[in-house]
Structure 1
Amino acid sequence: MTTPKIDLSHLAAFVIACDSVSMSQAADAIGLTTSAFSARLHGLETRLGLKLFARHGRNMWPLPSAVWLYNRSVRLLLAEEFLRQRVRSGAEETIRSVIIRLDEAYTGTYMARAVQDAIRRVHSIQQDCFLDLILSRQSSFESNADQQPMISNSTSILELSVRCAKGSNGSNEPSVMSVDTWMAVGEGAVDPQIDKDALRDMIVLELPGTLSDDIARHPNWPRLSHKVTTAAVSLQDYFGMALLLSSHDLLLPRPLIPARVAAIAPRMYTVPDGPPCAIHARESGMDPVMQTFLAELQRALSTADLSSGGSQPFSPAATLKQISTFNLVVKTGSMAAAARAVGLTAPMVPTQIALLETALETPLIVKGRGGSAATGSGLKLHPICLGIEQSFNDALAKSSKVAAEFRQSIRIGLPPSWSSDSRTSECMAEALSVFHREFPDCRIEVVEGPRDALHGGVRNGQLNIAVVGRVDLQVGSLPIGASEDISLIVNKKVGFCPQAKRVSADELRGIPLILAPAQVTMHQTLITALAKATVQLEPVMRLGSIPLIVSVIRRSPFGTILPASVVRKELEEDLVVAFPLDHIVPRRRLWAIFSTDNPLSETERRLVAHIKDAFASTL
């Protein structure tokens, strides 16, 4: 694992920022100055390439792009907190796991907060079972199956949802654990039983399942139906809800009222004659801890105050670097081997292990003649340490997809040869210009690299899209057009003149060539093609920069292999001469490659379409 630049302390600050109405309130909760807290959040946004917050008046609102990170941060922080509680309890049993699953649409609501509180309560009284909270939703950047259990032995799953209660449940239906009401939230929020004429217009937001339709069509609402409309605003669109509150009251099931909205709402009243809403629980696996959790959840739902602040802030003691170092030592069986694997100096590994042992208050690694091994406590904690590291890496790999989904930024990988002045680069410049006009708020970042690096960047999520001439099997691809024909470019001082119309392989071998086979695919392809004809081509220089190669060719008696358009200026000045090589290396097809883990977002598809159009019209 690459040492992360984001750590659990950043995620804890981010979570409390999402749960707090103002920056100063969030900073006070974890004992930081407002400026230091703001800098920590800005650093997180910079490292992820995501804008996470917006301001509305004196309030700071998480953007929809923050929902994805919030849920994964809470999951990681719950796991780190469980590690410390597990050690303090002295529990000897092997850790087992139960998955608690919620729809991501519940993020930030009264119910989601109650679930978090119930999990933390269960962890404090029963340390042999880890409750793995997974909030997910099918989207263009993530599927419901993307978040793997932190502990592989998870066999029990508890799914929670809010529905309208309708009679008794069948044998295959989830059990009803709590019945609640609908509430009006806003500046009006006048109880219609007290003053029906003063009732403001009410808005039903986009709610999970059929809840929106259920409330709008309920037969007991004839006197309120003319006051109720719907709005395409999600429960996580805090800015949109803030705008609606100025003219409407929000009509919501009590469990799904966003905690931040409840904190600033002047009034809230129960709406009479509305359909009841109930929390349903579907159990799979029947682990005994499920009943303990449901009892704690029921208690949290019945006693929590909607207008109160958030849960107790997370205060992680361990770091991701310490956890990943511990995992690596267990894997390699030696601190020295672990240091070599990640390029650290020898003393750094035991230092990180010592810091983790201090944070968890238990020995984790013992040194022996044959290397280093995990202690009994270390072996018991290792599965969840692995889960924390893997879950963090998986979340980090999704950040570029999330940024593209919300049209904030997009990263494109190109071969090094495209940095030169050529028709190919003109095509790309045209495509990026058109894309920017269509998505003016989406930041475009272009990085260069050899083919293998571009494929790796796509697979690990660092790049949204890359353009290559040859595609590996592990990525998805779409054709975008054809490359330019390549040519032999020779400085006139070489005095080269082919014996026939086409340059032969033997003649090519006799020219002092400057190539970059490790960086430029066309050079690698040429060398491979000649090798099949038993012609070994050995360059006199290997330069990884196309502009540098052109600069050398312009001044000195050397040759290279490039599209002729790269050296248009040199050809016009009669400094070099170009000879076609399409008989040795035919024109290649170009491909836009992308990760197959998730479908392309609309933003990514539009970029690919613009690239394809540019190549079709120019080449």
Structure 2
Amino acid sequence: MAGSMLPLMDKAGFELSLLSKFVLACQSPRLADAAKDLGQTPSALSIALHNLEERLGLKLFERRGAGLDLLPAAFWLFRTGAHLLYLEQHTREARFAGGRRMVKLSVHLDLNFAIGRVSKALLRTSQEMIETAPELLVDWHFSGLDDDDIGDPTGLAQSERLPDKSGQLRIFYGTAATVSAKAVHLYDDPWIVVGNKGSRVDAFQPDERVTLLRMRREIVDAMTRFATEHGFADRLRYRDDEPAQVSAILRDQPQTRLLMPANLMPRRLGLARHEEAPFAPRFVSSIYGETGGAAGSYGKAFLEAMLRNLVAENSAVFTPRLTTRQIHFFNLVAQTGSISAAARVANTAQSSASKHISQMEEAIGAPLLQRTEEGTSLSPRGEDVRAQTVVIEERQDWIVRKAHDIAAHSQARVTIGTLPSSGHDSVLTEKIAHVMTRIHARHPDWQLQIVESSNTMLHEHVRSGDLNLALVGMVQAQVARIRLGPTEPLYVIGNPAISFGGRKELGIEETVALPLVLGRQHLSIHQSFADAARERGLRLKTVVEVGSLALAIAMVRQAPLCTILPPSSVRADIEAGNLIAVPIRHEELSGALSVIFSADRELSEAERIIVQEFVRVFRPGRTATVELPED
């Protein structure tokens, strides 16, 4: 989960309050039910969920008829988002004796994931334990899901506040004959037949076939043995799809009858348009819990609460009160040592930072800072909160980055950054347009977005995950790249009032003596020129520093000034005599283009195709060679 911290503006719109609405909506049979629980209209909730999709760049829902179905990405966000909401609630509500070290309980679920009875009971139990055992932090994993992504979501793996040993709790399918004596029986999950609305699964005929989906091997094997013993094994069919895909399966094959434990067909969004009935002969899959490690009384108490919460399938409701800004400013104050320093880092007014800290203290109900003449330090309660707000912010950042990665892989949604356009007829602009139009023609369903930014910001957005790919000039560290070859030759572009003395070519030394308008802080072309001058020991002094090529060109048109550009950027002005162009010696100044991407993840198929097209257009006849960042 490690990665560069996203700037506050990149997290705007991804508030925990919005995430809590999503989590509740997923647990509700219809959007209207969730809206009623939230005291909102269905349209207002629908708009909020759409805003969440837009912020994450990830499609979560698919409209079917009058309702919504959950896409695979929604199940991922539910798992990760629910734990983030739990951490926020624990941060606010947990009260325990000062100096007492926290305890971690890791819950491993050897079950198929579903937004059903077990998941809801798990969330409600974790919430209850905040009051009964405030020093306990719970994390959970479903077997085979997100194992290599999440790491330790509590952030306690390396914490000095964690005891030498942590407790483990395993929840799994089993039978009385196979489980150990210390295993606790939690729930008997009855098997049901599921079909489309109007399919009369309650009148299921003895000779009809039923389909088993990709479920835990132990329960599939148990059902197969049961079918053999009762003489209906020949009626079983097997399909390599997850139970979460029930809606899509029944939509594509409406005659299909599915056989599964009831927990996998819960009351949740997208499943209100199906019918179910108990399977006969009756069969149940028993769920057990067993503690390990140093779980001790915590594990026992958790299982007892879980047993109570499994009796009814009630939704887990989160009501977060901490905001992204409050958490961000508090972490900055803890890091910098004062509110004023935090405000400077965040580029905001001190009064604004102070206001957010005060609101956070009000939400938590305790002072988090100790303000003295010598500065600001964390209060004892602030120290406890800080240990978790760092994790919350890191996890929030990770969700934003991971959402972009999932969108690229599962939905062919790719955001590409490019250097600022210097003109609609420039060679670079034409080549980028050629790449994108070819990609769109061949893959019209792909969702492509092109954004322009400075060379520096393109690198930052690739590292943060806001951009999948970027076309840059000078390549910085910590990104992977593929070279696209040299840039178009650079020229001094000048106002006709500038006299070049008939020179057909200029060197770096001659160029720095001209009245230059440059954007060294933002523009890759000008950064390359500044580096070339510095290597020669030349002092570069600009008339004006600008942030865009368009402004530099406009100023050169109107006054006796110069800038540095490829001539194709201002071809029409040169032909009309509005500007003049003199080449800079290629051996003294030459640039290169590269396409960059994060080295921390694997490119999706869509991203690979786009990269290959960039190479084909910019380096015809060459192959793409990836250069990874040095350690």
TM range, smaller chain: 0.7 to 0.9
Contact 1:423 1:565 (C-alpha < 8 Å) held by counterparts: yes
Task: Give the CA deviation at 1:522.
Answer: 2.4
CA distance in 2, matches of 1:424, 1:289: 62
Task: Give the CA deviation at 1:295.
Answer: 3.5
CA distance in 2, matches of 1:482, 1:135: 49
Please say if 1:338 is aligned against 2:345.
no
SS of the equivalent of 2:315 reads coil
SS of the equivalent of 2:14 reads coil
Query: Aligned residue for 1:434?
Result: 438
Aligned with residue 290 of structure 1, among 286, 299, 310: 299
Contact 1:489 1:578 (C-alpha < 8 Å) held by counterparts: yes
Could you tell me which amino acid in structure 2 is paired with residue 323 of structure 1?
Answer: I
Query: Aligned residue for 2:626?
Result: none
Query: Cα deviation per residue 1:432-462 (whole Å; 9 max; x = unaligned)?
Result: 1222234434432222222221111111122
Contact 1:132 1:150 (C-alpha < 8 Å) held by counterparts: no
Contact 2:107 2:138 (C-alpha < 8 Å) held by counterparts: yes
Contact 1:420 1:547 (C-alpha < 8 Å) held by counterparts: no
Task: Give the CA deviation at 1:607.
Answer: 1.9
Contact 1:407 1:603 (C-alpha < 8 Å) held by counterparts: no
Query: Aligned residue for 2:129?
Result: 122
Query: Cα deviation per residue 1:552-608 (whole Å; 9 max; x = unaligned)?
Result: 4455544332223223323433552342531112352x2221222221222222221
Query: Cα deviation per residue 1:83-128 (whole Å; 9 max; x = unaligned)?
Result: 34423x7787333222334589614143322322332233332222
How does the TM-score come out when normalised to structure 2? 0.83
Query: Aligned residue for 2:327?
Result: 323
Q: Could you tell which deviates more after superposition, 535-544 or 445-454?
A: 535-544
How does the TM-score come out when normalised to structure 1? 0.85
Q: Could you tell which deviates more after superposition, 14-23 or 205-214?
A: 205-214
Please say if 1:483 is aligned against 2:484.
no
CA spacing shift, 1:65–1:493, aligned 2, 3 Å: same
Query: How many matched pairs?
Result: 604
Query: Aligned residue for 1:443?
Result: 447
CA spacing shift, 1:423–1:606, aligned 2, 3 Å: same
Contact 2:329 2:357 (C-alpha < 8 Å) held by counterparts: yes
Could you tell me which amino acid in structure 2 is paired with residue 156 of structure 1?
Answer: S
Please say if 1:585 is aligned against 2:589.
yes
Aligned with residue 144 of structure 1, among 125, 149, 173: 149
Contact 2:104 2:167 (C-alpha < 8 Å) held by counterparts: no
Contact 1:15 1:70 (C-alpha < 8 Å) held by counterparts: yes
Contact 1:526 1:584 (C-alpha < 8 Å) held by counterparts: no
Taking every aligned residue pair, what percent have the same amino acid on both sides?
A: 27
CA spacing shift, 1:587–1:548, aligned 2, 3 Å: same
Query: Aligned residue for 1:559?
Result: 562
Aligned with residue 79 of structure 1, among 76, 84, 87: 87
Contact 2:506 2:583 (C-alpha < 8 Å) held by counterparts: yes
Equivalent runs, 1:304-453 vs 2, <5 Å: 304-305=312-313, 310-407=314-411, 409-417=413-421, 420-453=424-457
CA spacing shift, 1:535–1:144, aligned 2, 3 Å: closer
SS of the equivalent of 1:196 reads coil
Unaligned runs of 5+ in 1: none
Could you tell me which amino acid in structure 2 is paired with residue 149 of structure 1?
Answer: T
Could you tell me which amino acid in structure 2 is paired with residue 150 of structure 1?
Answer: G
Unaligned runs of 5+ in 2: 1-6, 623-631
Contact 1:14 1:41 (C-alpha < 8 Å) held by counterparts: yes
Could you tell me which amino acid in structure 1 is paired with residue 8 of structure 2?
Answer: T
Contact 1:183 1:270 (C-alpha < 8 Å) held by counterparts: yes
Please say if 1:131 is aligned against 2:138.
yes
Please say if 1:25 is aligned against 2:33.
yes
SS of the equivalent of 1:544 reads coil
SS of the equivalent of 2:325 reads helix
Could you tell me which amino acid in structure 2 is paired with residue 342 of structure 1?
Answer: A
Contact 1:151 1:387 (C-alpha < 8 Å) held by counterparts: no
Contact 2:419 2:454 (C-alpha < 8 Å) held by counterparts: yes
Task: Give the CA deviation at 1:74.
Answer: 0.8
SS of the equivalent of 1:184 reads strand
Please say if 1:108 is aligned against 2:122.
no
Query: Aligned residue for 1:595?
Result: 598
Query: Aligned residue for 2:75?
Result: 67
CA distance in 2, matches of 1:375, 1:30: 35
Could you tell me which amino acid in structure 2 is paired with residue 290 of structure 1?
Answer: G
Could you tell me which amino acid in structure 1 is paired with residue 303 of structure 2?
Answer: L
CA spacing shift, 1:362–1:517, aligned 2, 3 Å: closer
SS of the equivalent of 1:60 reads strand
Could you tell me which amino acid in structure 2 is paired with residue 129 of structure 1?
Answer: L
CA distance in 2, matches of 1:345, 1:81: 29
CA distance in 1, matches of 2:438, 2:216: 37
CA spacing shift, 1:67–1:273, aligned 2, 3 Å: closer
SS of the equivalent of 2:244 reads coil
Please say if 1:2 is aligned against 2:12.
no
Query: Aligned residue for 2:3?
Result: none
SS of the equivalent of 2:594 reads strand
Contact 1:475 1:595 (C-alpha < 8 Å) held by counterparts: yes
Query: Aligned residue for 1:196?
Result: 206
CA distance in 1, matches of 2:238, 2:67: 25
SS of the equivalent of 1:149 reads coil
Query: Aligned residue for 2:526?
Result: 523
CA distance in 2, matches of 1:319, 1:531: 46
Could you tell me which amino acid in structure 2 is paired with residue 112 of structure 1?
Answer: S
Could you tell me which amino acid in structure 1 is paired with residue 467 of structure 2?
Answer: L
Could you tell me which amino acid in structure 2 is paired with residue 189 of structure 1?
Answer: V
Aligned with residue 99 of structure 1, among 106, 126, 129: 106
Query: Aligned residue for 1:507?
Result: 510
Could you tell me which amino acid in structure 2 is paired with residue 533 of structure 1?
Answer: R
Task: Give the CA deviation at 1:496.
Answer: 2.1
CA distance in 1, matches of 2:405, 2:509: 48
Query: Aligned residue for 1:267?
Result: 276
Query: Aligned residue for 1:35?
Result: 43
CA distance in 1, matches of 2:37, 2:458: 43
Contact 2:189 2:286 (C-alpha < 8 Å) held by counterparts: yes
Aligned-CA RMSD value = 3.7
Query: Cα deviation per residue 1:396-439 (whole Å; 9 max; x = unaligned)?
Result: 23332232233263222212256653222111112112222344
Q: Could you tell which deviates more after superposition, 48-57 or 175-184?
A: 175-184
Task: Give the CA deviation at 1:28.
Answer: 0.7
Could you tell me which amino acid in structure 1 is paired with residue 124 of structure 2?
Answer: D
Contact 1:490 1:496 (C-alpha < 8 Å) held by counterparts: no
Query: Cα deviation per residue 1:234-266 (whole Å; 9 max; x = unaligned)?
Result: 333364145168322222234433442776543
Contact 2:193 2:260 (C-alpha < 8 Å) held by counterparts: yes
CA spacing shift, 1:527–1:369, aligned 2, 3 Å: closer
Q: Could you tell which deviates more after superposition, 272-281 or 543-552?
A: 272-281
Aligned with residue 166 of structure 2, among 150, 156, 165: 156
SS of the equivalent of 2:149 reads coil
CA distance in 2, matches of 1:321, 1:191: 56
CA distance in 1, matches of 2:591, 2:258: 61
CA spacing shift, 1:430–1:386, aligned 2, 3 Å: same
Contact 1:487 1:582 (C-alpha < 8 Å) held by counterparts: no
SS of the equivalent of 2:587 reads coil
Task: Give the CA deviation at 1:16.
Answer: 1.1
